[in-house]
Structure 1
Amino acid sequence: MRQNYLLALLSAVILWLAWPPIPYSSPLLFVGFVPLLIAIEKVIRGNYTRKGKKIFWLSFLTGFVWNTASIYWVYNAMSAYLPSYVAMLISLIPFGLAPLLMALVFRVYYQLRKKTAIGYSFIGLVSFWVGYEFLHQWWDLAFPWMTLGNGFSNFHQLIQWYSVTGVFGGTVWIWGINLLLFLLIWQKREKIEAYNTKKLAIAITVALVVPATISVIKYNAYTEHINPSEVVVVQPNIDPYGKFGFIHPAEQLSTLLELSERVAKPNTEFFLWPETAISAEGWGIDEEQFRSYPAYERVIHFLDKYKNGNVLSGIESYQIYNYPKTTTARDFGNGTFRDPFNAAVLIDQSSKLQFYHKSKLVPGVEQLPFGESLSFMKPLFAHFGGSTGGYGSQEEPSVFYSQSGIGAAPVICYESIWGDYVAKYIREGAQFIAIVTNDGWWGNTSGKDQHLLYAKLRAIENRRWVARSANTGISGFINQRGDIVQKTSWWTPDALTQEINLNEELTFYTRNGDLVLYLALVGSLLSVFMLFRNRRRV
């Protein structure tokens, strides 16, 4: 078994090297699972006991090492303000849970191999893997950071067809080539020919070359419809940990206004400020009373210089209820309940204010996963930086509209990883994507780079410009092909201005969502049917 574990480790290293932000390393994903598949095949065909258990731990090892090496920054962020043992405990959610689910997928694959032909087993493996990735987008412990299709964000010229399939299409592409290569290498190794070698080689070549060629052609041929809008993104570089002292919200606002004015033009239509850029001492901003806050007056005064100007900003806000309207509203005494939000706001010179409450909340920071069952962890949750009841949210995205009719998608931080969720903004009329985030929690690690690169996928899927304002991350602009047109440096106060092109057309993916998931569901149901049918025969 020692050699098998070395093969599993080799898969982990290849997958890690293939993962962003290492530039142009994505093609390594096409061979990343081959060593693991060989190790599993050796167990299946070898004279071992408890084969299922051995396969489970082989695949868990690959997943654990690959995930930990790629997203080590999760622990880095937590350990900066939590005891190391607590940080490690919470880090087990992304470090250990995802590998556990991966291992379960391979365990089911083993069951399929025992009872069905290898082709059916491959369909089951890919289908259940896509199902695992979907689960990691849907449940309370959602962390879709390591979805395989995200791996091509550092080589976006090869995946322009994400505008049809989304990232799950990339997952299927990667798995398809890995499985074909595995068959070819295994046959060569064992000197057998269950499948015609030449046909396998041709299939691998076609599977590699055709999608990549189509993508490169689309990339070079794609032209944007000219519909310009001037946008400013601001990176104030406020230290999230307060290592150099926390600054007053009024001082933070001064920095934002100064940086904005530095690059603004008379025709600037949107000023984009980062996550929680606007706040107030205490609980933050009361949404109903926001117009009475000095911050609002200062923003309105700033916009006097810009005829069509709008400020789209992150904001720490809350609403007051007379009864516990939501599960996240807390009793504040005197018969009032406060519901806090990580939110975005659009401010213009009209009397209208538009708010959006972040929907995809970060497990363990902004919401307590499975809150009722894990209520005993509320003190730890509060210490982590969230509130003991979590933050309030809204179920569906909402588009911000300027007075001139421009629709902007206010995407807050973590939400930019969800392809279908961002597509909902576009279906509701968003003409560009505005990401407000604070990546400074992770420090100068690959986390901030990965987050920026993943935004390229949303640009391609929907053919929308992305304007990205990060507090202490990387701010910038991404065009409709996924090219990073401008970006700031890490840990540098800065502001950028860019003329972007608005787009109203809907891509196939935007209109139809993740159809690949439905195909995976069919494949999973077929696999389950094959398992139970063969069980009855036995």
Structure 2
Amino acid sequence: MSRCSELLTRAAEGIRGASGWRRWLISFVAGLAAATALAPLYLLPLMAVGMTVLVLLIDGAAAHSKPGRSAFIAGWFWGFGYFLAGVYWMALSFFVQADQFAWMAPFALAGMPAFLALFTGAAALCCAAFPKTGWARIVFFAGVFALVEYGRGHILTGLPWNLTGQVFAGSAVGAQTAAWYGAYGLSLVAIFLAAAPAAGLEADDKTKPLSGFWVMLGGAALLFAAGAIRLAMPEPQGDARQLVRIVQPNIPQREKIQWSYWAKNFERQMEHSRGAVPPDAQLFIIWPENGAPLLSESPSALEALSEELPENSVLIAGTVRREEAENGEERWYNSIAVVEQEEDRRRITAHYDKHHLVPIGEYLPFYDFLSQIGVAALTPYQDRGFSSGLGPTTLSAGGASFSPMICYEAIFPGASYFKGERPDWLVVATNDAWFGDSSGPRQHLDMARLRAVETGLPMARSANTGVSALIDAKGRILARIPLYQAGKIDAPLPPKLPRTLYDRAGDWPFLLFVLIFLILPFQGKLFARV
């Protein structure tokens, strides 16, 4: 046995045999390591280290008096480390209005990872009940963990943030196969490849400790080769007369939410929106989330838009609007407004209301109870927060159709628009200024890239402080504005592609693959040959 193989085998034995606090520490550190494979570091080998260690810890649970309990705790500590490193930035939002919300930050910092870790703990518990070894356990492990990630993306309104497959979203070539089976399918592949090294580290078979590594490397090579081939395939020609202007004003969050700064903020965005376009061109100007609050109630703002925006332009702006319900209650909506030229002035011709709201951030669930203990929604517009819109929509303006998404909505696979309403392009208006110069905005951009790949549609993403980007229908970032820089992107609108398999079938291919992964390990004769 080579020196490398011997060291790997010894390390695996040590991990399997760890007990007490050492076992939990190993699991926690493995989860932390796995998270570094995501944006902004993209240390992809560490996802393999993290997943392989977790498989070995689950194996080691069999030697404990309560193996299920031991496996669950190992999975929970792994998830706690993974999500602590992956979503720590959520706590930063509570310091924007520190006088009101700073006391909630520690609860968000520890509470969210602790809750999300329940999913990895449950997956580890299920895997511990599977008695087989070798490749059978790796296939079963991947199927279970992918299915649990799918559940995490749907239970309690869902939070599919930092799906394992997102490790491949840092580059267009790695993300291409999402066009076939979506982000969840990409996660299934990523989990299998990352856990594959554990297949050669059997406690009772020390003859081929590197076999799993070769499978992992070969599988990753195939994934990237498939991506390169898809990127090289011919594409439709775009219409050079359709232009986009994506505005990033870089407004500090404290100023963005203060009413006294609204006029100044409006002018900041106007600075980047002016500028003539060719007479035969159609320009789409994109402003970020809440770029023009209460625009429908401001005749002076609409007059300024009428006078100063270029001719043949459509403004697609994040806004906040309010309306009075039948019972007299005032409702507020986080919205996108479409402003077009009609005769001699500009009017709001359509709007979209965000329907997938962020708990605590945009609305307060269990309002009566939480408000009594001092919890409030972060939105400054109303104690209860925003009201929810009716759902995804497709709007038409300037001779093209688009589907708008606001911030958080872009993280959900298969939810960009209703089936049968496929648009020409996607618009994302967001505001990641709540989260500072952290990994959050960068991870958010990667998830938006996956929506473009899944749908085969180009995307214009306007973010208040960044990262704003123009993304083509294969997920290539054609232009971007870095974090905390003001500016604009002027470019032709990329063409859309024919419908992808994922756009046609949704998550059904992924669910079929998961079913296969869960059934195959029970076919003993098949895996006996491996």
- Give the corresponding residue for 2:406: 412
Q: How far has the Cα of 1:36 moved from its partner?
A: 1.6
- Give the corresponding residue for 1:4: 23
Q: How far has the Cα of 1:155 moved from its partner?
A: 2.8
Task: Kindly provide the CA deviation profile for residues 100-154 of structure 1, in whole angstroms up to 9, marking residues without a partner as x.
Answer: 21111111221233xx677765555434423332233223353211211122111
Task: Kindly provide the CA deviation profile for residues 322-362 of structure 1, in whole angstroms up to 9, marking residues without a partner as x.
Answer: 22xxxxxxxxxxxx221110000111113661111111111
**Matched-pair contact (CA < 8 Å) for 2:27–2:75:** yes
**Matched-pair contact (CA < 8 Å) for 2:360–2:377:** no
Deviates more, 1:28-37 or 1:236-245: 236-245
**Matched-pair contact (CA < 8 Å) for 2:456–2:474:** yes
- Give the corresponding residue for 2:468: 475
The 1:170–1:30 alpha-carbon spacing in structure 2 relative to 1, beyond 3 Å, is: farther
Q: Does 1:344 align with 2:362?
A: no
Q: How far has the Cα of 1:450 moved from its partner?
A: 1.5
What are the residue-to-residue correspondences of 1:481-500 with 2, within 5 Å?
A: 481-500=474-493
The 1:198–1:84 alpha-carbon spacing in structure 2 relative to 1, beyond 3 Å, is: closer
The 1:297–1:135 alpha-carbon spacing in structure 2 relative to 1, beyond 3 Å, is: farther
**Matched-pair contact (CA < 8 Å) for 2:363–2:379:** no
The correspondence for 2:107, drawn from 89, 93, 99, is 89
Task: Kindly provide the CA deviation profile for residues 299-318 of structure 1, in whole angstroms up to 9, marking residues without a partner as x.
Answer: 23334x412x1000001101
Q: Does 1:392 align with 2:387?
A: yes
Alignment-mate amino acid for residue 179 of structure 2: S
| Equivalent position SS for 2:336 | strand
The correspondence for 1:258, drawn from 236, 260, 271, is 271
**Matched-pair contact (CA < 8 Å) for 1:463–1:480:** yes
State the alpha-carbon separation in 1 of the partners of residues 434 and 213 from structure 2: 46
| Equivalent position SS for 1:18 | coil
Tell me the TM-score normalised to structure 1 length.
Answer: 0.83
| Equivalent position SS for 1:233 | strand
- Give the corresponding residue for 2:317: 313
Q: Does 1:108 align with 2:113?
A: no
The correspondence for 1:501, drawn from 490, 494, 498, is 494
Q: How far has the Cα of 1:162 moved from its partner?
A: 0.9
Deviates more, 1:89-98 or 1:409-418: 89-98
State the alpha-carbon separation in 1 of the partners of residues 276 and 76 from structure 2: 50
The correspondence for 1:35, drawn from 53, 57, 60, is 53
State the alpha-carbon separation in 1 of the partners of residues 368 and 65 from structure 2: 38
The 1:488–1:131 alpha-carbon spacing in structure 2 relative to 1, beyond 3 Å, is: same
**Matched-pair contact (CA < 8 Å) for 1:367–1:386:** no
Q: How far has the Cα of 1:407 moved from its partner?
A: 0.8
State the alpha-carbon separation in 2 of the partners of residues 275 and 383 from structure 1: 15
Q: Could you tell me which runs of 5 or more consecutive residues in structure 2 were left unpaired when the two chains were aligned.
A: 1-18, 524-530
State the alpha-carbon separation in 2 of the partners of residues 247 and 475 from structure 1: 26
- Give the corresponding residue for 1:442: 435
Alignment-mate amino acid for residue 116 of structure 2: A
State the alpha-carbon separation in 2 of the partners of residues 89 and 50 from structure 1: 30
Alignment-mate amino acid for residue 236 of structure 1: P
Task: Kindly provide the CA deviation profile for residues 141-192 of structure 1, in whole angstroms up to 9, marking residues without a partner as x.
Answer: 53211211122111331231111111111111122223432111x23x5435
Deviates more, 1:127-136 or 1:429-438: 127-136
Q: How many pairs were matched up? A: 496
Identity fraction in percent:
21
Task: Kindly provide the CA deviation profile for residues 422-477 of structure 1, in whole angstroms up to 9, marking residues without a partner as x.
Answer: 2x268513111111111111111121122122221112112222211111222121
The 1:526–1:322 alpha-carbon spacing in structure 2 relative to 1, beyond 3 Å, is: same
State the alpha-carbon separation in 2 of the partners of residues 444 and 197 from structure 1: 41
**Matched-pair contact (CA < 8 Å) for 2:32–2:82:** yes
Tell me the TM-score normalised to structure 2 length.
Answer: 0.84
**Matched-pair contact (CA < 8 Å) for 1:409–1:426:** no
State the alpha-carbon separation in 1 of the partners of residues 256 and 430 from structure 2: 20
Question: What is the RMSD computed on CA atoms of the aligned residues?
Answer: 3.2
The 1:243–1:295 alpha-carbon spacing in structure 2 relative to 1, beyond 3 Å, is: closer
The 1:222–1:6 alpha-carbon spacing in structure 2 relative to 1, beyond 3 Å, is: farther
- Give the corresponding residue for 2:10: none
The correspondence for 1:354, drawn from 339, 350, 354, is 350
State the alpha-carbon separation in 2 of the partners of residues 167 and 384 from structure 1: 30
State the alpha-carbon separation in 1 of the partners of residues 349 and 513 from structure 2: 42
**Matched-pair contact (CA < 8 Å) for 2:337–2:348:** no
- Give the corresponding residue for 1:226: 238
Deviates more, 1:230-239 or 1:138-147: 138-147
State the alpha-carbon separation in 2 of the partners of residues 492 and 317 from structure 1: 28
Alignment-mate amino acid for residue 243 of structure 2: E
Alignment-mate amino acid for residue 208 of structure 1: A
| Equivalent position SS for 2:482 | coil
State the alpha-carbon separation in 2 of the partners of residues 383 and 217 from structure 1: 45
Alignment-mate amino acid for residue 341 of structure 1: Y
State the alpha-carbon separation in 2 of the partners of residues 426 and 225 from structure 1: 25
State the alpha-carbon separation in 2 of the partners of residues 28 and 248 from structure 1: 45
- Give the corresponding residue for 2:40: 21
State the alpha-carbon separation in 2 of the partners of residues 502 and 156 from structure 1: 17
**Matched-pair contact (CA < 8 Å) for 2:318–2:429:** yes
Task: Kindly provide the CA deviation profile for residues 383-424 of structure 1, in whole angstroms up to 9, marking residues without a partner as x.
Answer: 6746333312224211121142x01121111111112112x2
State the alpha-carbon separation in 1 of the partners of residues 231 and 497 from structure 2: 19
The 1:58–1:377 alpha-carbon spacing in structure 2 relative to 1, beyond 3 Å, is: farther
The correspondence for 2:303, drawn from 287, 297, 316, is 297
- Give the corresponding residue for 1:129: 145
- Give the corresponding residue for 1:536: none
Alignment-mate amino acid for residue 158 of structure 2: A
Q: How far has the Cα of 1:292 moved from its partner?
A: 6.6
